[in-house]
Amino acid sequence: MELAKNLQQLTERLNYIRDIFGGKHQDDINLLSSRLEEFRHNIETQANINFDEGLTTLEDLFFFMEAKLENKLTPMDNVRIVRHPQRICLRDILENVYDNYTEIGGQDEHTNDPAVLIARAYITRKRGKKSYNQSVMVIGHEKGHGEEFRNGGSAKPWGNAKALHYMHVAEIEGIPIHSYIFTPGGDPVEDYPGAGQQIAKNIYKMAGLSVPVVALFSEGGSGGAEALSLADKRLMLSHGYYSVISPEGAAAIEGRLKRGERASAELIENCAANLKLTAKDNLSFGYIDQVLQEPTLGARPYHFDFFRTIRQEIIRATDEIVLNTKGFSLFRINQLRRLRDTETNLDDTYINWHLPKSLRSDLVENRQNKFLRMSKGSFINRQSMLGALSDAWTEQWREVYNRLVYDFFHRYRRTYTNFLEEATAEWETIKTRAKKPFKSAYNKVRRIDTTAQQELTSLSKWDRADERGGWNWVSTRAKEDKSVTCPNAKTHGCLDLWTPDLYNEFAGVCTTCGHHFSMEYQWLMYNCFDVNSLYEFNSEWEAGNPLDFPTLDQRIKDAQEKTGLKSGCITFEARIDNIKNVVAVLVAPFRGGSVGAAEGAKLISAIDRARRKRYPLIIYSHGTAGIRIQEGTHGVIQMPRVTIAIRRYIRAGGLYLVVYDTHSFGGPVASFLGCAHYQFAIRSSNLGFAGPTVIKNTTGIDVAPDHHNCYKALSRGHIHGVWDRRDIRMNVKQALLTMGGRNLYYR
Amino acid sequence: MEKEHKVLIANRGEIAVRIIQACHKLGLSFVAVYTAEDAHSGHVALAKELGDSKSLYRISSYHDANELLSIADAANATAIHPGYGFFAEDFRFARRVTERDRPLIFIGPSWRVIRELGDKINTKRLARSLDIPTVPGSDKPIYDEAEAEKVARSLFEFQVHQGVEKPLVLVKASAGGGGMGIEEVYDIDLFRSVYRRIRNYAMRQFKDDGVLIEQRIKNFNHLEVQVLCDRAGKNPVHFGTRNCSIQSTGLQKRVEIAPGFDPSSITYPFDAQKVMDDITEYSITLARKVNYDSVGTWEWIVTKDGHPFLMEVNTRIQVENGVSAAISRIKGKADVDLIAEQIRCGLGDPLGYTQSDITFDGIGIEYRIIAEDTEQNFTPWVGNIDNFSWNHTPWLNMHTHLPQITKENPYTIPTEFDPNLALGIIWGTDLENVKERGKEFLNALSITGYNGQSSTLKSNIPFLLKNTDRILRF
């Protein structure tokens, strides 16, 4: 009986090896297979012999081969390991790492989203004879072992909403959050709420969560992973991956595949290697704090020793966060030394995970700073030494100025003006009351005002400077003698439009149905803001190639030549009716408006500038295809980074306005754009988490043509209004006057 | 005309007939267009009669600029005549016609002039800059409530000062048009609420909360000055005035008389001749100022006590051009054709005469004969016409696009366009004479028809007869 069981185990191990190498290393596998068959044959034919020795030899062979193959693992093999149904899942961890747990917010498939699992659990630790139960909130993706209803760990929007809700609960109860990332990516279909919008809300929340958060990555797929992983400490399993996109997705983009086509195995393998998605790579980039070494060829549910490792490391991580926040006193130095000693059994020590209220802001600040420090060197900064020096100098002055003007002068000015206003109001009432009898008498004897009548029939003065006469910037397309057919012509009966009219006077709007044709990014830059009020900064920051992705250098160069820009993001200061703003534009013609390390850095710098100067901040997404996949994790890390900067800005009392145009998809929408409290779209624009092709490729669903339309986004509650392009200046000005926080300079 | 020209007629009905005739008279080739509903219209028959194989095209809509321009290219046209309505006052069309890769001549004013005079506020300000009288009130959009109230208050006082019994003030959205966003105020205390309502309406509808405040004038006569100018734009001439005060309830003109007043047989409480001289002088001044370079009509209102105010400028040939032509003589010669003059000058010919060469003789009336129920709010009558006849006399000029109608071959009135059937232009030596002839014409005019509900044709002939007596009076 025992023998049969062992044999079965070996067969499973063999099948597992077959699965994860996807047809490679056939010699080794055949050797194992033939030896196993031989052994099985022996058992069946020869009775009453002791097979123990043979079994041990066979098992040794297996161990030897597995160790040999472990060294030959390619990144794509790792991806296959992570996706294998035998991979450990969150329920295994709950069973084996925690001492007690209750699943909340659902049970198996009876939950709004079986791909997201929430549990309250505790870890029991001892100090001397006394034992302590330390409560945690466990939030994570549940892939299960191949169950259909788990949706492969792809969280639906409401799954992320559930996670957000329990993060909030954890914050109220003051218990740490342990978050487990087992997702190939978020479910891309927009729904109520929208997928991108919900992820953005999660990231925004986690950026300011006041309890310790530890995240453990096994499979970190892009936006879906970011929704739960903005943590103080990020651990990663050694065979896991953390990437901006699945290797298949990258291959589809690199190979320029059409809908439904499949990439070759070789291309996928190459993409996996180029994306640098393994734990080791991410550790070296600094996006991961620690790697947990798994058993050979990946952890499976029967590797009970490994669960002990997870438990120790999770405890260690949480302890460290708490200790770092509390600062170092004499006692804690000792505690920390014990903590760093890998020999100590952390179950026998005890550190209280509860943070006093006074320290919570420190915790948040530490987390934010940690993320903001990341990916510093992954773009090219061609700014001269002198320029950098002068920037630093002005920054210092700005600090001093702020202290003086806002912290000192404004505070007292407010008190003074309040008093003055009240006094004047009082005086006015007294004055009118006193003048009343005289005034009515005067009205009776008043003679007709001849100058007023003169004004009725003669030419008055009219400064037409503020009147809208033509556009400041006109597209070159307006010079062609051509006519364009509106895409709604069949349904709305629109007449063809003459391009010199359409792209000049009509601002790209169909006069019949109001369809907005896409315009160049300069149109809004020069027509929304005051003429000659644009001042660009950080223009020397240049998009780089941090992963040395093949051919990316050439493609960046091509984009730079085509657009005359250094990166896909322009940041500048501009005025609208003398209200100064900081504006960032994501430029669609530059590599699809994708966001990489340079764009992220420019955005963060612009956001900081707006925060320091107390200007309103406008991000105009002229179009973005998402995160620049060729930058891998350097790109994806911009999602939490920029969102953190945004959160700081909003918390400082600013006004953050997002305007979407043409097509906006992917990471930016699911993070720093989607988290804005004031988001508006220009009519006929499309926005969402993933484009129709990506949805088709990942889920096989054909979405309706208006699935991502701005009006759909409006009804999903993602954006807060749809604007006509011709009224953009008026609408932005209206927004500046009516929206935003308390700390804008012009308030 | 130095080079051979071919004129595309981008219009239908009566004006298309007139343009074809004018082209024929000038020896120009032409291209006419028609839609399916107009297949039996007179302009199609005439184009077949006078044109060649490339003179008639069927199109899907008179509104489709692309289609018209591709026909102009296919037929090798060199100029486009827009007629009235459709593209006549569309400066974008005029600009497109003249600025495309294969430019054509737009027979009408240059697009800049159309744009400049198409904007009522701009016209008013231009007029005021030349000391031409305009309706008292603001000449720019007002955005400030206090300022608006100040203007309204002084407007009331102004009217009281002028002796107006019931002063009225008009509040209208400056970006509006076609009667949208206009309200009357009779009491200054109600002004604020009306102002706010209009401002909010304007903000919602036109995204611009500017408001105009003007005097509301009642009991006025509607006069027009017919102006003509060549492409040089230096020496505009006028063809006298017209009185277009007899209108349907929807403010559509029904009877037009030239000249605008007749002081020789009617006594007015003011110097009518001086008013007519003034408004022609003012119109010519403004035309010269903007370098006007085609035919156009300056529309005036004249109050009961003889104050003229410039209302707007129509930068096109008008329906009632024939009545001005009927009383005009160029160098003593009758048979003036303003459409032919417009085409001739539009293609680049100099005018060839001055104001002193234009003289006026007698009085003209133009009746617009329309199948409509004048009792029922001028509702158009729809159906088939099986008889349409009149007495041919030397003093009558009948313009119609109706084909030869017999009992067997009736004409179906298309419902897609305006319901005009014919224009009857009558000339007389003096007012009594022309009224007599007018009545004679209307009495002899026979028009019958039937429709699916077997109701008999209703026409506006009784209305025209009734109103003939009160022409040129207030």
In a shared domain, residues A31 and A131: no
Question: Residues of B with CB below 8 A from A483's CB?
Answer: 66
Predicted confidence at residue B45, as pLDDT, reads 93
Q: Is the pLDDT of residue A465 over 60?
A: no
In a shared domain, residues B300 and B154: no
Nearest CA among B17, B11, B20, B8 for reference residue B77:
B8
The mean per-residue pLDDT over the stretch B113-127 comes to 91
Predicted confidence at residue A746, as pLDDT, reads 86
Q: What is the 3-state secondary structure (H, E, C) of A20-38?
A: HHCCCCHHHHHHHHHHHHH
The token pair at A705 is 């043509």
Residue type at position A665: F
* A621 to chain B, closest Cα gap in Å: 24
Domain membership flag for residue A401: no
Say which of A456, A495, A500 has its CB closest to residue B155. A456
Q: Are A165 and A111 in contact (CB under 8 A)?
A: no
Q: Do A498 and B151 touch (CB under 8 A)?
A: no
In a shared domain, residues A150 and A178: yes
In a shared domain, residues B307 and B376: yes
Q: Does B209 touch chain A (CB under 8 A)?
A: no
In a shared domain, residues A199 and A333: yes
In a shared domain, residues B281 and B143: no
Q: Element (H or E) spanning A167, and its range?
A: helix A157-173
> Residue A456's closest chain B neighbor by CA?
B137
The mean per-residue pLDDT over the stretch A441-469 comes to 71
Q: Is the pLDDT of residue A733 over 80?
A: yes
The mean per-residue pLDDT over the stretch B245-255 comes to 85
Domain that residue B145 falls in: 136-215
Domain membership flag for residue B127: no
Predicted confidence at residue A741, as pLDDT, reads 86
Predicted confidence at residue A335, as pLDDT, reads 75
In a shared domain, residues A66 and A194: no
Q: Do B207 and A730 touch (CB under 8 A)?
A: yes
Question: Residues of B with CB below 8 A from A511's CB?
Answer: none
The mean per-residue pLDDT over the stretch B294-317 comes to 93
Question: Residues of B with CB below 8 A from A481's CB?
Answer: 99-101
Domains held by chain A: number: 4
pTM (2 d.p.): 0.86
Residues in contact with A379: Cβ distance below 8 Å, sequence separation at least 6, in sequence order: A541, A542, A543, A544, A546, A567, A596, A597, A598, A601
Q: Is the pLDDT of residue A35 over 60?
A: yes
In a shared domain, residues B270 and B395: yes
In a shared domain, residues A201 and A221: yes
* Beta strands A656-660 and B6-9, pairing class: unpaired
Q: How confident is the model at residue A258 (pLDDT cuts 50, 70, 90)?
A: confident
In a shared domain, residues A723 and A608: yes
Predicted confidence at residue A436, as pLDDT, reads 85
In a shared domain, residues B151 and B15: no
Q: How confident is the model at residue A28 (pLDDT cuts 50, 70, 90)?
A: very high
How many residue pairs bridge chain A and chain B with CB atoms within 8 Å of each other?
Answer: 60
Predicted confidence at residue A446, as pLDDT, reads 61
Residue type at position A435: K
Q: How confident is the model at residue A263 (pLDDT cuts 50, 70, 90)?
A: confident
Q: Do B128 and A458 touch (CB under 8 A)?
A: yes
In a shared domain, residues A103 and A235: yes
* A730 to chain B, closest Cα gap in Å: 9
Q: Is the pLDDT of residue A154 over 70?
A: yes
**Chain A positions touching chain B (beta carbons under 8 Å):** 448-449, 452-453, 455-460, 462, 481, 483, 495-496, 498, 500-501, 505, 724, 727, 730
Q: How confident is the model at residue B178 (pLDDT cuts 50, 70, 90)?
A: low
Say which of A456, A457, A498 has its CB closest to residue B96. A498
Nearest CA among A206, A223, A224, A199 for reference residue A140:
A224
Domain membership flag for residue B394: yes
Domain membership flag for residue B161: yes
Residue of A443, A457, A728 to mutate, testing the B interface (most B Cβ within 10 Å of its Cβ): A457
Predicted confidence at residue B14, as pLDDT, reads 93
Domain membership flag for residue B72: yes
Which DSSP category does B107 fall into? S
Predicted confidence at residue A116, as pLDDT, reads 94
Domain membership flag for residue A418: no
Nearest CA among A275, A260, A338, A302 for reference residue A696:
A260
Domain membership flag for residue A233: yes
Among A373, A391, A406, the domain-final residue is A373
Q: Is the pLDDT of residue A617 over 60?
A: yes
Burial class, A450, CB count within 10 angstroms (exposed 0-12 / middle 13-18 / buried 19+): exposed
Among B183, B215, B247, the domain-final residue is B215
Predicted confidence at residue A3, as pLDDT, reads 83
Domain that residue A178 falls in: 83-373
For B421-474, how does the pLDDT look when each residue is reduced to its tens digit (9 = 90+)?
999 999 999 999 999 999 999 999 999 998 877 678 889 999 999 999 888 887
Domain membership flag for residue B404: yes
Among B215, B250, B283, the domain-final residue is B215
ipTM of the complex: 0.80
Considering chain A, what is the average pLDDT of its residues? 90
Helix (H, G, I), strand (E, B) or coil at A354: coil
Q: Does B98 touch chain A (CB under 8 A)?
A: no
Binding-face residues of B in 127-166 toward A, CB within 8 A: 128-129, 133-134, 136-140, 150-151, 154-155, 157-158, 161
In a shared domain, residues A508 and A612: no
Q: Is the pLDDT of residue A468 over 70?
A: no
Domain membership flag for residue A420: no
The mean per-residue pLDDT over the stretch A511-525 comes to 93
Domain membership flag for residue B117: no
In a shared domain, residues B384 and B238: yes
Q: Are A302 and A12 in contact (CB under 8 A)?
A: no
In a shared domain, residues A158 and A26: no
Say which of B100, B125, B129 has its CB closest to residue A481. B100
For A432-444, how does the pLDDT look when each residue is reduced to its tens digit (9 = 90+)?
899 888 877 777 6
Domain membership flag for residue B287: yes
For A308-339, how does the pLDDT look when each residue is reduced to its tens digit (9 = 90+)?
999 999 999 999 999 889 876 667 777 777 77
Q: Is the pLDDT of residue A449 over 70?
A: no
Q: Do A457 and B154 touch (CB under 8 A)?
A: no
Domain membership flag for residue B166: yes
Domain membership flag for residue A8: yes
Domains held by chain B: number: 3
CATH number at residue B385: 3.30.470.20
Distance separating alpha carbons of residues B290 and B281, to the nearest angstrom:
15
Residues in contact with B394: Cβ distance below 8 Å, sequence separation at least 6, in sequence order: none
For A338-362, how does the pLDDT look when each residue is reduced to its tens digit (9 = 90+)?
777 777 888 888 889 999 999 999 9
In a shared domain, residues B227 and B366: yes
In a shared domain, residues B88 and B194: no
Domain membership flag for residue A505: yes
In a shared domain, residues B225 and B92: no
Say which of A457, A483, A498 has its CB closest to residue B136. A457
Kindly list the catalytic residues of B: 316
The mean per-residue pLDDT over the stretch A614-618 comes to 95
In a shared domain, residues A168 and A235: yes
Distance separating alpha carbons of residues A275 and A286, to the nearest angstrom:
15
In a shared domain, residues B198 and B73: no
Among B215, B238, B258, the domain-final residue is B215
Say which of B66, B100, B154 has its CB closest to residue A456. B154
In a shared domain, residues A43 and A110: no
Q: Is the pLDDT of residue A408 over 60?
A: yes
In a shared domain, residues B226 and B211: no
Domain membership flag for residue A307: yes
Q: How confident is the model at residue A259 (pLDDT cuts 50, 70, 90)?
A: low
> Residue A729's closest chain B neighbor by CA?
B207
Domain membership flag for residue A614: yes
In a shared domain, residues A583 and A719: yes
Predicted confidence at residue A114, as pLDDT, reads 93
Among A313, A339, A373, the domain-final residue is A373
Residue A271: left if φ>0, alpha if ψ -120 to 50, beta else—which one? alpha
Predicted confidence at residue B169, as pLDDT, reads 94
Question: Residues of A with CB below 8 A from B92's CB?
Answer: 498, 501, 505
The mean per-residue pLDDT over the stretch A496-521 comes to 93
The token pair at B154 is 């002084």
In a shared domain, residues B386 and B296: yes
* A459 to chain B, closest Cα gap in Å: 5
Q: How confident is the model at residue A460 (pLDDT cuts 50, 70, 90)?
A: confident
Question: Residues of A with CB below 8 A from B100's CB?
Answer: 481
Percent of chain A with pLDDT over 70: 97
Predicted confidence at residue A743, as pLDDT, reads 84
